[in-house]
Homo-oligomer: A and B are copies of this chain.
Amino acid sequence: MRILHHLPLSPQCRLVRLVLGEKRLPCELVIERVWEQREEFLALNPAGEVPVLVEENGLAVPGARVICEYLDEAYPDTPLLGRTLAERVEVRRLMDWFESRFAQEVTRNLLGEKVDKRLYGRGHPDGNVLRAGYGNMRFHLDYIGWLAETRSWLAGPSISMADFAAAAQLSALDFIGDVNWAKAPAAKDWYARVKSRPCFRGLLTDRMSGITPPGHYANLDF
């Protein structure tokens, strides 16, 4: 059986889980406590980070972007990177946008302060960093809303890895109750569409000790 080494609240891991689900590729999830730096895990990925996908034939594929490119090449039946050259540029541009810019400007400031700091024993959340994260999120939700209103899906006419990259970040923030959906109706409508897809179910049943997601987290009609 295919294995995904992951952490439940990691947006990169959630992106891969969504893509695996959308492509109907069964996968066993194994939690990897990356901070323990297990030698067997470092042999799979010298960078020591999740996600790492291990195929039944033993091929280890490390890193969300590498896994996404691999899955679309190895299992092309449900293409998620776009069809034309221009579509593929736009899907990858937006994946980069959410994996780099959104992750640094929003997710790191909120999830990083509230969860990672506690996990690694690095003290309490910094109010200034949280405020910056919430401010940046408003801008990003407006951008998502604008994209969703001018196209069928974020990167164009079909659902793509760009939608899953954005939804993966937002789903992790939604788990800790940090997304103010009321202020972003267009982004909320788009997120409801992604959230109602079968591939999303696994994320909605995630539970972690010490964190209770808000009531709307698993609700498709939030």
Contact = CB atoms under 8 A, between A and B. Distances in A.
A41 interface: no
B59 A89 contact: yes
A69 B69 contact: yes
A148 to B, nearest CB: 16
B66 A89 contact: yes
A101 interface: yes
A86 B57 CA distance: 11
Contacts of A73: 85, 88
B74 A61 contact: no
Contacts of A29: none
Interface string A169-186: 000000000000000000
A93 B63 contact: yes
Contact of A92 (B45, B65, B74): B65
Contacts of A85: 59, 70, 73-74
B70 A89 contact: yes
A101 B47 contact: yes
A93 B59 CA distance: 13
A11 interface: no
Contacts of A145: none
Contacts of A47: 96-97, 101
Interface in A44-102: 45-47, 59, 61-63, 65-66, 69-70, 73-74, 85-86, 88-89, 92-93, 96-97, 101
Given A45-B93, A61-B89, A66-B92, 13 more contacts: A47-B97, A47-B101, A61-B93, A63-B93, A63-B96, A65-B65, A65-B96, A66-B89, A69-B69, A69-B92, A70-B85, A70-B89, A73-B88
